[in-house]
């Protein structure tokens, strides 16, 4: 794939930030002289890079006998360390740490509260020369987890300096800003007995195919607000909907995640549908390998064409047709690949590689999905 030829002057901020921060740069360079970024992307590796996961809560266990059996030791954390590039011009590097609730064995008193800790550097890169890079701010803060519901309270930092936020420094003409995340992300259910079946459908021309998940565990997005940044061209965005996990297959499904935002004075709503299929290597028991195969469609209902489409999938069985990629609509495809370290059927560490591809997507759509995926870093990486 290659870059689309559609271009706009609406996203000049990244280049201006870098030029302003480069030695010898002219701070007053006129905006129209700067390189304009692609507005719509058809590009391989639109989200790329690596993540190392250390599941410390599975290896550093309590040995005092005071806690419930199998409890992590107080202070044990799962650590997700990553270096990921989004749409070529933004790099996120740093870590997220997650600690669980810990309770005493006899009285069930809480010894430790569940929380996530973000510490991520954000750098922008010059679209004309990607070697030119400048750290412009941080994605940082604490996310408490509600004990009764398991919800990640994105606005629940105990103090202003601990709220989950994006904070960007003033660079050149671009002013500094700070904006917090809000809303709740409800992760996998604690009580698996209450899970119900759910049928996901996909309409292709005159043909409807479906997959039924017998125990569907929804990860819900309850009016999540994604903070804007690192540039103004990535606006504040509200997210609602669900992404359901199937314990039998390891797949994720959604029949609608909605991203709402305003850009250049116009209201936008992107509806994401589709699947993320888990595929295990035949020798996973010994080599720990597997991958997520992405087939997410953006505004499928709006872009699909009547007739013709179903013919391409006529020879497929129901399941194959459901997972088939249709590049006539905007899509996010590709893989997130895992090489896991196993101990007695438990994953204790993972080396993760991102190679996700954009087909007819805008940078805003790619960035919004990336931010949401990183908020769900725990549920999407657990087994």
pLDDT at position 87 over 90: yes
pTM, two decimals, is 0.87
pLDDT score for 32: 31
| Closest of 122, 127, 126 to residue 168, by C-alpha | 122
pLDDT score for 190: 66
Q: What is the DSSP string of 48-76?
A: EEEEEEEEHHHHSB--SSSB-TTPBPTT-
Q: Higher confidence at residue 40 or residue 252?
A: 252
pLDDT confidence tier of residue 359, bands split at 50, 70 and 90: very high
Q: Mean pLDDT check: name the lowest of 51-60, 137-146, 318-327.
A: 318-327
Beta bridge partner(s), residue 185? 152, 221
pLDDT score for 158: 62
Contacts of 152 (CB under 8 A, 6+ apart): 116, 143, 144, 145, 146, 184, 185, 186, 187, 375
Do 118 and 377 form a contact (C-beta atoms < 8 A)? no
Contacts of 228 (CB under 8 A, 6+ apart): 166, 177, 179, 234, 235, 236, 237
pLDDT confidence tier of residue 28, bands split at 50, 70 and 90: very low
Tell me the two tokens of residue 169.
């420094």
pLDDT score for 3: 38
- For tokens 């271009």, what's the residue? 7
pLDDT at position 213 over 80: yes
Q: Higher confidence at residue 95 or residue 28?
A: 95
Do 293 and 340 form a contact (C-beta atoms < 8 A)? no
| Closest of 193, 328, 321 to residue 247, by C-alpha | 193
- Assign residue 250 a region: left if phi > 0, alpha if psi is -120 to 50, beta otherwise? left
pLDDT at position 375 over 80: yes
pLDDT score for 157: 64
pLDDT at position 24 over 60: no
- Ramachandran angles phi, psi of 57, nearest 5°: -75, -10
pLDDT confidence tier of residue 312, bands split at 50, 70 and 90: low
| Closest of 135, 70, 75, 142 to residue 105, by C-alpha | 70
Mean pLDDT, the chain, as a whole number? 85
For residue 94, the Cα-to-chain-centroid distance in whole angstroms is 15
pLDDT confidence tier of residue 162, bands split at 50, 70 and 90: confident
Q: Please give the sequence-ordered ranges of beta strands (E in DSSP) within the chain, or none if there are none.
A: 40-55, 78-86, 90-99, 102-103, 110-112, 115-126, 129-144, 151-153, 165-168, 177-180, 182-186, 196-204, 207-226, 237-246, 252-263, 266-280, 289-298, 331-343, 346-362
pLDDT score for 84: 98
Q: Mean pLDDT check: name the lowest of 118-127, 197-206, 302-311.
A: 302-311
Residues 373 and 282: their CA atoms lie apart, in Å, by: 27
Contacts of 33 (CB under 8 A, 6+ apart): none
Q: What is the DSSP string of 178-237?
A: EEE-EEEEE-S-S-GGG-EEEEEEEEETTEEEEEEEEEEEEEEEEEEEEPP-SSTTS--E
For the chain, what is the radius of gyration of the CA atoms?
22
For residue 130, the Cα-to-chain-centroid distance in whole angstroms is 23
| Closest of 94, 95, 98 to residue 76, by C-alpha | 98
**Is the torsion defined by CA of 364, 365, 370, 375 positive or negative?**
positive
| Closest of 327, 202, 364 to residue 275, by C-alpha | 202
Do 164 and 154 form a contact (C-beta atoms < 8 A)? yes
pLDDT at position 2 over 60: no
- The structural domains of the chain, with segments of one domain joined by +, span 13-375
Cα angle for residues 57, 63, 64 (degrees, 5° grid): 125
């Amino acid at each position: 794939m290659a870059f689309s030829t559609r271009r706009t002057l609406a996203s000049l901020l990244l280049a201006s930030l870098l030029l302003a921060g480069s030695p010898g740069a002219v701070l007053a360079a006129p905006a129209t002289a700067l390189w304009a970024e692609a507005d719509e992307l058809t590009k391989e590796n639109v989200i790329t890079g690596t993540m190392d996961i250390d599941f410390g809560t599975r290896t550093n266990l309590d040995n005092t006998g005071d806690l419930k059996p199998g409890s992590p030791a107080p202070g044990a954390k799962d650590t997700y360390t990553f270096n990921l590039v989004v749409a070529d011009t933004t790099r996120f590097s740093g870590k997220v740490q997650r600690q669980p609730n810990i309770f005493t064995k006899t009285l069930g008193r809480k010894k430790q509260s569940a929380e996530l800790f973000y510490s991520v550097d954000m750098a922008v890169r010059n679209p004309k020369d990607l070697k030119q890079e400048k750290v412009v701010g941080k994605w940082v803060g604490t996310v408490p987890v509600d004990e009764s519901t398991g919800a990640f309270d994105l606005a629940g930092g105990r103090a202003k300096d601990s709220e989950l936020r994006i904070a960007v420094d003033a660079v050149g003409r671009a002013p500094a800003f700070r904006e917090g995340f809000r809303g709740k992300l409800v992760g996998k259910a604690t009580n698996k007995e209450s899970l119900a079946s759910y049928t996901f459908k996909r309409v292709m021309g005159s043909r409807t195919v479906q997959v039924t998940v017998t125990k569907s565990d929804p990860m819900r997005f309850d009016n999540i607000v994604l903070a804007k940044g690192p540039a103004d061209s990535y606006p504040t965005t509200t997210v609602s909907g669900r992404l359901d996990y199937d314990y039998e297959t390891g797949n994720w499904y959604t029949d609608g995640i909605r991203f709402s935002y305003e850009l250049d004075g116009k209201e936008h709503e992107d509806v994401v549908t589709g699947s993320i299929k888990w595929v295990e290597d035949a020798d996973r028991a010994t080599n720990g390998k597997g991958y997520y195969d992405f087939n997410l469609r953006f505004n499928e209902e709006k872009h699909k064409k009547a007739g013709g489409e179903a013919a391409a999938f006529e020879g497929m069985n129901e399941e194959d047709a459901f997972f088939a990629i249709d590049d006539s609509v905007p899509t996010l495809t590709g893989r997130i690949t895992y090489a896991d370290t196993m101990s007695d059927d438990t994953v204790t560490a993972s080396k993760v590689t991102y190679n996700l591809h954009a087909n007819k997507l805008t940078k805003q759509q790619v960035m919004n999905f990336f931010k949401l995926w990183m908020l769900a870093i725990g549920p999407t990486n657990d087994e």
